[in-house]
Amino acid sequence: MATNFLTNQQISSLVEAIQSAEENSTGEIRVHIDSNTDEDNAKIAFKVFEELCLNKTKERNAVLFHVNFEQKYLTIIGDTGIHAKVSQSYWDHLHDYITSEFAKGNYYQALKSGILETGLELKKYFPVTGENHNELPNEITFS
């Protein structure tokens, strides 16, 4: 589903980036693009986090990138497992980088970089030790 900000090809490439980022860790990454919310994006992001079952992973190490391009709003939510390993300043830095790139119109590259950077953190703290079951789908969701 193409948006005014990402092509279908870029969306497919982001799914591949999610797969790559998750490959060497037990962590899960999801991207949700919201085109309907007019206010209280953070509250909606937490609702989406739960609806997508990101709070149900075995090691509580899922991360959601909730993006509302129209509202110029990004929420990054790390579940309790990954949040306990990285400091709030990590999330703040990642958020600042992505939103600064969004401001330049670099939507695809900013999201891809954020996904891959998150994958490195997940690999550092939640490396694969045996079978790596994909607990959640990798596709990007929309509302």
Average confidence score pLDDT of the chain = 95
Check residue 72 and give left, alpha or beta (phi > 0: left; psi -120 to 50: alpha): left
Concatenating the DSSP letter of every residue in 42-93 gives: HHHHHHHHHHTTGGGSTTS-EEEEEEETTTTEEEEEE-HHHHHHS-HHHHHH
pTM score, whole prediction = 0.96
pLDDT of 11 over the 90 cut: yes
Residue 28 one-letter amino acid:
E
**The predicted structure's pLDDT at residue 2:** 63
Percent residues over pLDDT 90 in the chain = 88
Cα dihedral 17→23→25→31 (10° resolution): 30
Residue 1 banded pLDDT, cuts 50, 70, 90: low
